[in-house]
Chain A
Amino acid sequence: MANSNNNRRKFMATTLQSVGLTALGGLLWSGYSDEVKASPLVLRPPGALPEDDFLKACIKCGLCAEACVNRNSNKNKDGSKRAGTLQMAKGGDHKLIGTPFFIPTEVPCFMCDDIPCVPVCPSGALDMPSLLNKEQELDINKARMGLAVVHKESCIAFWGIQCDACYRACPIQGEAITIEHQKNERTGKHAFMLPIVHSDVCTGCGLCELACVTEKPAIFVLPIEHSTGRAGDHYVKGWDEKDQQRVKNAKEIHTKDERSEKEATDYLNMGVEY
């Protein structure tokens, strides 16, 4: 009897130890995994799912990077191979290890017509249907890898110096970046020629960032969620017929509370008392 009690105690203790150590391991592992996937400022290949889904889906096989570096167009004039756009995150890159990304100032995306990196993706992390146009053909102009933004204080065009390097480098020339003319009040006789990025066209390829002549590029690509704001649903454009449709069925709401018993001018003049 004493022996069986001892055995039971031992069994309980080992079970408890196993469960405890597993819980400890699970907590450490979860914490680590959650930290390493937090790398917000990373540019993904064309057609990549939104970052959260992309990190789930990417199986880290590297087929996209291999297709990118080995494409026929990726050759120097002497026939030698160039570095590819897509890199696979290594230890020390501070991006989720094994996932593909690119850095425009190293090698930007050249926006190949046949998009070799996307159809090879076996997992669906690079979503081919998102890049198909109405004719069901691959269309690289539909890619949204990021969005270029201009820092106007360091952009010399905003100083009044004539520079259109980004405009000329842009593969969707005259659409993704346009040059806007403005009068230079400082000199009174010259024009500013300001580069303006259009978010409905820009693919985030990064050729502008590479071409920028300033010491640290004044135009650069950020992931779209980091280079865009959001006005919110409660703003409706009264001059936009399509936007007006959103409030077609809205009814007037009358709020009755202590404040609304008085005239609006009353409390504006009195200060707030309620």
Chain B
Amino acid sequence: MKNIKYLLLRRVTQFTILFLYFGANAYGWHMLEGTFGASRLFGFLPLADPYTVVQVLASGFVLGADVLLGALIITTFYMVVGGRAFCSWVCPINMVTDLANWLRRKLKLDKEEVNYRFLKRRTRYWIMVLGILVSAVVGVAAFEVLSPITIMQRGIVFGFGAGVSVVIAIFLFDLFGVRNGWCGHLCPLGAAYSLIGSKSLIRVEHNHENCTACMECKVVCPENQVLYMINKESISVTDGECTNCGRCVDVCNDDALKFSIRSFAQKAK
């Protein structure tokens, strides 16, 4: 049970959030209405996705105050809690890519991995900037016309239609294409949250004394470049690309990894 604690917690969180969104349409609940683009919590508190808001502003439309306030609330929340907690604790695509990743490990596909030299982890930041530029040129929020994240979420709330093919495409890409291809290399929303949360408080902390260098954490980690300190230094994972998913904490049998509040003192050293 110990080694799936955070995994279980994440799945419960993801399903609860999606179920509340689903209920808002199907049963008229006022807990969490709308979609990730813009939502209403408890029937009054506006929430909005900061990257979507930036795209709409870039397209040349001055948004209503509700949405701007919502984006501010979400940005502040993830700045404190951990930027990419959205990716691993909320985003429904995470379940698809986690499944692809798990199958990849079971089928031992990584041994045969082709070296996709052109696809770097920093590609997502280029795409993020490009999305804003394309929004400005075309006059429509550019990532929102193809975002598998909101397509999947709207699919769950309002019905999928042919949108399900986008979700399948992501699954196949991550399974047979590039390892962590979508979330780790392409998704501009994840890139935006990496930046937002780069100074966030909740962090995974490594205890180098306890580490036995089994490297289980690096195997399960979807962004394992952030775990460069394993078996080397006793410091926190401070990279914004860490999604705070907690899989490394789950799989560690040596008590060498745990969640903690980021210590800013360590940075000064």
Q: List residues of A whose CB falls within 8 A of some B CB.
A: 17-18, 21-22, 25-26, 29-30, 32-34, 36-37, 52-53, 55-57, 59-63, 65-66, 69-70, 87-88, 90-93, 96-98, 120-124
Q: Given contacts A26-B130, A98-B144, A123-B67, are A91 and B165 in contact (CB under 8 A)?
A: yes
Chain B residues with CB under 8 A of A37? 138-140, 145
The answer to whether A122 and B150 have CB atoms under 8 Å apart is no
Report the bound CA distance from A29 to B66 in whole Å. Answer: 29
Q: Is B61 an interface residue (CB 8 A)?
A: yes
Chain B residues with CB under 8 A of A124? 61-64
Chain B residues with CB under 8 A of A62? 25, 34-35, 154, 157-158
Q: Is B33 an interface residue (CB 8 A)?
A: yes
Report the bound CA distance from A121 to B48 in whole Å. Answer: 12
Report the bound CA distance from A77 to B141 in whole Å. Answer: 41
Q: Mark B140-181, 1 if CB is under 8 A from A, else 0.
A: 111011100011001101111111111000000000000000
Chain B residues with CB under 8 A of A30? 134, 137-138, 142
Report the bound CA distance from A173 to B64 in whole Å. Answer: 35
The answer to whether B126 and A61 have CB atoms under 8 Å apart is no
Q: Given contacts A33-B138, A98-B144, are A60 and B150 in contact (CB under 8 A)?
A: yes
The answer to whether A70 and B64 have CB atoms under 8 Å apart is no
Seed contacts A98-B150, A120-B40; 7 additional CB < 8 Å A-B pairs: A30-B137, A37-B138, A59-B56, A59-B67, A60-B144, A61-B38, A90-B158
Q: A64 — nearest CB in chain B belongs to which residue?
A: B34
Q: Of B25, B35, B133, which is within 8 A of A26 by CB?
A: B133
The answer to whether B64 and A17 have CB atoms under 8 Å apart is no
Report the bound CA distance from A145 to B136 in whole Å. Answer: 27
Chain A residues with CB under 8 A of B146? 32, 97
The answer to whether B56 and A56 have CB atoms under 8 Å apart is yes
Report the bound CA distance from A53 to B63 in whole Å. Answer: 11
Q: Of B52, B62, B127, B154, which is within 8 A of A90 by CB?
A: B154
The answer to whether B39 and A61 have CB atoms under 8 Å apart is yes
Q: Given contacts A26-B133, A98-B144, are A34 and B138 in contact (CB under 8 A)?
A: yes
Report the bound CA distance from A59 to B28 in whole Å. Answer: 20
Q: Is B264 an interface residue (CB 8 A)?
A: no
Q: B66 — nearest CB in chain A belongs to which residue?
A: A122
Q: Given contacts A63-B40, A122-B70, are A56 and B60 in contact (CB under 8 A)?
A: yes
Q: Of A55, A69, A90, which is within 8 A of B140 by CB?
A: A55
Report the bound CA distance from A70 to B22 in whole Å. Answer: 13
Q: Is B46 an interface residue (CB 8 A)?
A: yes
Q: Is B228 an interface residue (CB 8 A)?
A: no
What distance in Å separates the Cβ of B28 from its nearest Cβ neighbour in chain A? 3
Q: Is B116 an interface residue (CB 8 A)?
A: no
Chain B residues with CB under 8 A of A25? 126-127, 130
What distance in Å separates the Cβ of A249 from its nearest Cβ neighbour in chain B? 35
The answer to whether A59 and B151 have CB atoms under 8 Å apart is no
Report the bound CA distance from A59 to B64 in whole Å. Answer: 11
What distance in Å separates the Cβ of B231 from its nearest Cβ neighbour in chain A? 31
Can you list 16 A-B pairs with a CB-CB distance of less than 8 A?
A29-B131, A57-B56, A60-B35, A60-B37, A61-B37, A63-B33, A63-B40, A66-B25, A66-B28, A70-B28, A91-B163, A98-B151, A122-B64, A122-B67, A123-B63, A123-B67
What distance in Å separates the Cβ of B3 from its nearest Cβ neighbour in chain A? 38
What distance in Å separates the Cβ of A17 from its nearest Cβ neighbour in chain B? 7
Report the bound CA distance from A98 to B164 in whole Å. Answer: 14
Q: Given contacts A57-B63, A96-B145, are A122 and B126 in contact (CB under 8 A)?
A: no
Report the bound CA distance from A168 to B78 in whole Å. Answer: 55
Report the bound CA distance from A101 to B39 in whole Å. Answer: 19
Chain A residues with CB under 8 A of B144? 59-60, 97-98
The answer to whether B46 and A70 have CB atoms under 8 Å apart is no
Residue of B24, B64, B66, B126 most packed against chain A (CB within 10 A): B64
Report the bound CA distance from A24 to B73 in whole Å. Answer: 35
What distance in Å separates the Cβ of A253 from its nearest Cβ neighbour in chain B? 39
